Amino acid sequence: MSPALPDDAPPTHDLIGIGFGPSNVAMAIALSEHNARVGRQEAVTAHFFERQPRFGWHRGMLIDDATMQVSFLKDLVTLRNPSSEFSFLCYLQSKGRLVDFVNGKSLFPLRVEFHDYFEWAAAQVDDMVSYGHEVVAVRPVVRDGVVEYVDVTARSGQETVVHRARNLVVGTGLRPRMPDGVERTERIWHNSELLSKVDALDESEPSRFVVVGAGQSAAENVAFLRRRFPNAEVCAVFSRYGYSPADDSSFANRIFDPDAVDDYFTAPDEIKRKLMDYHGNTNYAVVDIDLIDDLYRQAYREKVLGSERLRFLNVSRLTDVVETPDKVRATVESLVTGERTPLDADVVVYATGYQSADALGILGEVGERCHRDDQGRVRVGRDYRLATDAELRCGIYLQGGTEHTHGITSSLLSNTAVRVGEILDSIVERGQQPASSQPRLAADEISTAL
């Protein structure tokens, strides 16, 4: 699809993807399936940059018994193309485990297994990706006052490379969130680094961990640390009364449907807010009921046996976390009485969630040409394309960071397969028109939340 450019132009693609997590792996697969269907003339050319040295999906949380929170049928392809060769079922077949998996009668594979599936899928499209390349700049290529291309600079060690594209798909994922003023150290962790840090503790025989938070990651950390360190006490500190179960019932689960994206996108602001309030408990600050039950059973058993290692400090918060050479001294404040109790620990783990990376941050000058609403949120079309100044004719698409316009699936896997198909359709459709006549987002194509 790319028109001819001068010989000295950087390598030029129809699309550059920033990040190669599940979202952009799915994008690469959708592209390769599209290109296999159409002739060479209509093929969409693409390149992806990933800063990690190889594919990795939340490696720090690949706890061996943790399971997926989404059906395996919501893999990278199936909801878009049920006959795709990149499905989880094809992966199982290739590993010789299809029948064994079916006999297990579960929709929810182990997280380590889904990671292996992602790696298997990513490996089949890795001719399109440069690993170990962090995108550090995006610059507009201005000709006659208009921008039809952007130059993307990626750094790998001391080297930088520049590639040019007519479309960008930003899939840079989530960033760990720490409470204001709390820095990560060797003894103060975010749960995202659990497995990369924990081995170093084996020699030191830790006696106490504090885990802050009441969501799925927090509960998983509590269960894991208790199991891994049989002599250590694990204190869970959270402001709730107890862990709350994730609502994964069938009707509520429809909030993750592809159609729900249309409804959410069209709904007025107030209804968007209500939908999030009603159904936030399908995903946020909630825990799988099986894990809640397990933790409760363990705590009760410890009580009966008189050897309590699990402590739940509920309706509480952690204040004054101070690191000493061999400990962390924290203070637990009861939100009921205000009483403050000192607590020495080997490690404090903050399981305090994640936030989307600011997509515009990475876009630099190009980001300044993208429109924001009066709350500073990016304005996005239904096809996930950012609304921009008229002179910016290239497409900038977001995978993630669109919860305010497209709803709860924005940063989840549930809708990834369908979303990448929609982005690809938009790119193909726009590519078939001369750039100068391409439509800008009409008012009714921009979410009413904006």
Nearer to ligand FAD, 191 or 426 (CB): 191
Piece of the chain touching ligand FAD by CB under 6 A; list 17-25, 81-89, 180-188, 224-232: 17-25
The residues with which 199 forms a beta bridge, in sequence order, are none
Piece of the chain touching ligand FAD by CB under 6 A; list 6-14, 180-188, 406-414, 426-434: 406-414
Instruction: Rule CB under 6 A: say whether 135 interacts with ligand FAD.
Output: yes
- CB-based contacts of 250, cutoff 8 Å, min separation 6: none
Closest contact distance (angstroms) between CB of 238 and ligand FAD is 18
Instruction: Rule CB under 6 A: say whether 428 interacts with ligand FAD.
Output: no
The residues with which 342 forms a beta bridge, in sequence order, are 331
Q: How far apart are CA 203 and CA 115, in angstroms?
A: 29
CB 415 within 8 A of CB 409: yes
Instruction: Rule CB under 6 A: say whether 77 interacts with ligand FAD.
Output: no
Q: How many Cβ atoms sit within 10 Å of the Cβ of residue 388?
A: 22
Judged by CB under 6 A, the chain residues 340 through 399 that form the site for ligand FAD are 354, 362, 399
Nearer to ligand FAD, 125 or 343 (CB): 125
The dihedrals phi and psi of 139, each to the nearest 5 degrees, come to -125, 140
Beta strand segments in 131-285, E:
134-143, 146-156, 159-165, 167-170, 174-176, 188-190, 208-212, 233-237
Nearer to ligand FAD, 131 or 296 (CB): 131
Q: Quickly list DSSP for 368-410.
A: HTB-B-TTSPBPBBTTSBBPB-TTB-SEEEESSS-HHHH-GGG
Nearer to ligand FAD, 210 or 219 (CB): 219
Nearer to ligand FAD, 227 or 340 (CB): 227
> Helix (H, G, I), strand (E, B), or coil: what is residue 283?
coil
Instruction: Rule CB under 6 A: say whether 424 interacts with ligand FAD.
Output: no
- CB-based contacts of 313, cutoff 8 Å, min separation 6: 235, 236, 237, 238, 332
Binding mask 143-172 for ligand FAD (x = CB under 6 A): ----------------------------xx
- DSSP structural state of residue 78: T
Closest contact distance (angstroms) between CB of 390 and ligand FAD is 27
Give, for 228, the enclosing helix (H) or strand (E): helix 216-228
Instruction: Rule CB under 6 A: say whether 219 interacts with ligand FAD.
Output: no
Instruction: Rule CB under 6 A: say whether 130 interacts with ligand FAD.
Output: no
Q: How far apart are CA 73 and CA 87, in angstroms?
A: 8
Instruction: Out of 153, 282, 414, 447, name the contact with ligand FAD by CB under 6 A.
Output: 414
Q: How far apart are CA 298 and CA 227, in angstroms?
A: 11
Piece of the chain touching ligand FAD by CB under 6 A; list 48-56, 91-99, 139-147, 424-432: 48-56
Instruction: Out of 1, 16, 18, 129, name the contact with ligand FAD by CB under 6 A.
Output: 18
Closest contact distance (angstroms) between CB of 23 and ligand FAD is 3
Binding mask 165-204 for ligand FAD (x = CB under 6 A): ------xxxx------------------------------
Instruction: Rule CB under 6 A: say whether 22 interacts with ligand FAD.
Output: yes
The residues with which 313 forms a beta bridge, in sequence order, are 237
**Tokens standing for residue 196:** 């990369």
- Residues of this chain that interact with ligand FAD (CB under 6 A) are 18-24, 49-52, 57-58, 61, 68-70, 134-135, 171-174, 217, 354, 362, 399-400, 411-414
